[in-house]
Structure 1
Amino acid sequence: MAQASGRVGQYVKSSGVGGEYYNSYVPNPLPPNPPLEMNELFPLLDQASVALGRLDGMSMILPDPSLFIYMYVRKEAVLSSQIEGTQSSLSDLLLFETTDAPGVPIDDVTEVSCYVEAMSYGLERLKELPLSLRLIREIHGKLMNNSRGGHKMPGEFRTSQNWIGGSRPGNAAFVPPPPERLMEVLGEFEKFLHDEKAALPVLVKAAMAHVQFETIHPFLDGNGRLGRLLITFILCEKGILKQPLLYLSLYFKTNREKYYGLLQSVRETGNLEDWVRFFLVGVAETANQATDTAKNILALFAKDKERIVNSGRHAASVFTVYDFMKRYPVTNTTRIKDDCDLALPTVLRALNALESLGITKEATGKGRHKIFVYDRYLSILNQGAEPFAN
């Protein structure tokens, strides 16, 4: 791995407030030189590709793929934001989308909600635009459209120095490229995204693009979340996934120290192979988990539908409310009444039937402003999405 040192970028001496000097890092362009040593990576690449194929195939047999995508996108938004320090849960987000409920950490959940919007916007725009600096800026604008991000140049590349760790560039753990070099390295990054001559497997390209984006850190805030979104965008743009079902934030959250350590190792030693190995293992594990989750959800839906049928309480309104709660597993009577076009007494009878069958439950214990939850469905979705303990 000695030759990998040739991949290490250059340090540029800069001075900050008070004349303190610090070194900022300018990465070399991709693809790497010397090229990646692929021999040991091919078996992992095969495993990851097979797992992705199974997941993509699963999306083809789901009775309603949009339902699964809807919930999975929200889980990813929660996980990716948790890595950045929010304490919002999946239940918080779903509750927030249902009603402005008291007790929801509003700033945290608004931030997560913006992530959902950014992801949905980016995937839609990819149908008409290539993955480019322009699109990345547009997505960032959606991501940072909240009270925390509104003053941090949403949708614009930074014009000042940022850093990671520490209180200033002079004592930071890592200092990305200085602003005067930013458009140069971003231009090279965009060329890499569009380069069809490099003949790299798409998964390897996505791994490299992620570490390069994290190293460039082109925005004042939101770089981590956008860098993780970038992985899914690349796989969808290149046709590796027909549906946006692969999100690595749970893997990165579970292995957070190793994740950050490998990103820094690439910068210091040029050892991309260990990073790509970690990434491919994550793709395989995450794709297999997503496939298992989809199977568990399908099995639950089938079992609960059978339970309703066998109970004899299968009025059309019961199935209407049940189908609604498959899409919105945290909800209230107003939302059900309005969206399903049912009278309130009909909604209450249906919810009572579902609760008596152990399918849904009322979560607040209050006389008013009740919240109803499809509990076992939410439990499947929630695995791994609990906030970090303080």
Structure 2
Amino acid sequence: MQRGLSGQYEIGSVVGQEEVRAFVPAPLPPDPLPDLAGERGRLHEQALLACGRLDAITALLPEPDLFLYAYVRKEALVSSQIEGTQSSLSDLLLFELEETPGVPFDDVVEVSNYIAALEHGLGRLREGFPLSNRLLREIHERLLARGRGAERQPGSLRRTQNWIGGTRPGNAHFVPPPPQRVESQMADLERFLHDDQQPFSALIKAALAHVQFETIHPFLDGNGRMGRLLIALILHEDRVLHQPLLYLSLYFKQNREEYYRLLDATRREGDWEAWLDFFLEGVLTTANGAVETAHRLLDVFREDREQVEGTGRSAANALRVFHALGTRPVASINDLAERSGVAYPTASRAVEALEGLGILREITGRRRDRVFAYWRYIAVLNEGAEPL
């Protein structure tokens, strides 16, 4: 048994013909506690203030569901891209519309599963169910409900050894705890999440818990996505954000090498401070970026609404259809007619008018069953969400 600064190595089970040397992290919080004074303390305060601004903007938005719908989907897309999917935002929105033929099923269904998993977790928290290992298993079951990974024990903690990188534990980049230690390790993590005596804000708790979860790697598949979901769930349960609007997947995607290097540094060197600096900078950058995106989307929506209002007698019906685009920016005429409460011919004329204004674009190239996209809105949302 060789001790590391933030855990210990153990000889686990035999995989193939070799013994497995697995890393078992010490329970949280780190010992000694991370230093939160000085520049790190100021960064922490700035990150908390940025979260407060992001939380406040949802109360000011005239169409908060518009922004929430869009932002959740961007997060799902980027988090899944980190794991190798190649879906685009348009693919996802088309799939949600009618599971459109021709959309790459395996990739898009993983993103759709992510949305279902997040919405289930948030719904349970709003019902008063605690953030617990039982809830994490429920979320995992939805994350791997269909598509790739559906055979990888959805909703169950792993019962076999896994590893990260390499072809076997012996040449792996990192080997998480042996399977017989996973349940007790996750129980320790749950106790940490609900220990009110810890001198940490929810941001610090989320930062520490994310590393611990990724180190335990408790499931056979989906650990990266679950670890990123855990951050949003902690911040929501602790009421840092009333709506799930802070997602770090884009920041992690843009800084992938540094992200993985710092995860390793916490395990091998106990360097929690460097990880916290990175995480808090990510919160600050991401929260400020989300506020800016909200304002830009509102500007786009306002400018285009003013265009529609200037179209004369047909403006009333065109506005009804236009507002329906605000909650779902990719839609068929049937869908728009239903959601705007107008007849199909009326919706069709409105769509034609919106196309003429350059607000809508037809994206299938078909003559029947056409689908239209609110392109400026999607372009703002899509920044940073392009496939890797």
Common fold by TM > 0.5 = yes
| C-alpha separation in 1, matches of 2:332 and 2:158 | 42
Structure 1 residue 61 displacement after superposition: 0.1
Asked if 1:18 is matched to 2:12, the reply is no
What TM-score results when the alignment is normalised by the length of structure 1?
0.96
Gapped regions of structure 2 (runs ≥ 5): none
Structure 1 residue 341 displacement after superposition: 4.1
| C-alpha separation in 2, matches of 1:330 and 1:351 | 12
Structure 1 residue 15 displacement after superposition: 4.0
Aligned to 1:165: 165
Indicate if the aligned counterparts of 1:169 and 1:175 stay in contact, CA closer than 8 A: yes
Aligned to 1:349: 349
Aligned to 1:57: 56
Aligned to 2:7: 9
| C-alpha separation in 2, matches of 1:313 and 1:31 | 65
State how many pairs are aligned: 384
Aligned to 1:142: 142
Gapped regions of structure 1 (runs ≥ 5): none
Question: Pairwise mapping of residues 231-242 of structure 1 onto structure 2 (< 5 A)?
Answer: 231-242=231-242
Aligned to 1:374: 374
| C-alpha separation in 2, matches of 1:63 and 1:359 | 20
Q: Deviations over 1:122-171 (max 9, x none)?
A: 00101221111111111111111012122111011011111100111111
Aligned to 1:263: 263
Q: Which amino acid aligns with 1:13?
A: I
Q: Which amino acid aligns with 1:329?
A: P
- Cα root mean square deviation, aligned: 1.3
Asked if 1:29 is matched to 2:19, the reply is no
Aligned to 1:94: 93
Q: Deviations over 1:5-34 (max 9, x none)?
A: 974200011342333123100000001111
Mean Cα deviation higher: 152-161 or 37-46: 37-46
In structure 2, relative to structure 1, the CA distance for the partners of 1:185 and 1:303 (3 Å cut) is same
Q: What is the DSSP-based 3-state SS (H/G/I as helix, E as strand, rest coil) of the residue aligned with 2:84?
A: coil
Question: Pairwise mapping of residues 1-390 of structure 1 onto structure 2 (< 5 A)?
Answer: 7-39=5-37, 40-127=39-126, 128-388=128-388
Superposed structure 1 runs of 4+ greater than 6 Å apart:
none
Q: Deviations over 1:258-298 (max 9, x none)?
A: 11111111111000000010000000000011000000011
What TM-score results when the alignment is normalised by the length of structure 2?
0.96
Q: Deviations over 1:273-327 (max 9, x none)?
A: 0001000000000001100000001111111111111221544321121111111
Q: What is the DSSP-based 3-state SS (H/G/I as helix, E as strand, rest coil) of the residue aligned with 1:16?
A: strand
Q: Deviations over 1:65-99 (max 9, x none)?
A: 12211111011000000000000111110010112
Q: What is the DSSP-based 3-state SS (H/G/I as helix, E as strand, rest coil) of the residue aligned with 2:22?
A: strand
Structure 1 residue 196 displacement after superposition: 0.8
Q: Which amino acid aligns with 2:230?
A: L
Q: Which amino acid aligns with 1:9?
A: G
| C-alpha separation in 2, matches of 1:84 and 1:18 | 26
Indicate if the aligned counterparts of 1:16 and 1:169 stay in contact, CA closer than 8 A: no
Indicate if the aligned counterparts of 1:246 and 1:287 stay in contact, CA closer than 8 A: yes
Indicate if the aligned counterparts of 2:6 and 2:30 stay in contact, CA closer than 8 A: no
Structure 1 residue 338 displacement after superposition: 3.4
Indicate if the aligned counterparts of 2:54 and 2:287 stay in contact, CA closer than 8 A: yes
Indicate if the aligned counterparts of 1:361 and 1:374 stay in contact, CA closer than 8 A: yes
Q: Deviations over 1:18-74 (max 9, x none)?
A: 331231000000011111111231011011112111111111100121221111101
In structure 2, relative to structure 1, the CA distance for the partners of 1:313 and 1:222 (3 Å cut) is farther
Indicate if the aligned counterparts of 1:355 and 1:361 stay in contact, CA closer than 8 A: yes
Indicate if the aligned counterparts of 2:65 and 2:327 stay in contact, CA closer than 8 A: no
Q: What is the DSSP-based 3-state SS (H/G/I as helix, E as strand, rest coil) of the residue aligned with 2:351?
A: helix
Mean Cα deviation higher: 379-388 or 15-24: 15-24
Q: Which amino acid aligns with 1:358?
A: G
Structure 1 residue 185 displacement after superposition: 1.0
In structure 2, relative to structure 1, the CA distance for the partners of 1:98 and 1:18 (3 Å cut) is closer
Q: Which amino acid aligns with 2:72?
A: V
Q: Which amino acid aligns with 1:34?
A: P
| C-alpha separation in 2, matches of 1:214 and 1:18 | 24
Structure 1 residue 365 displacement after superposition: 3.0
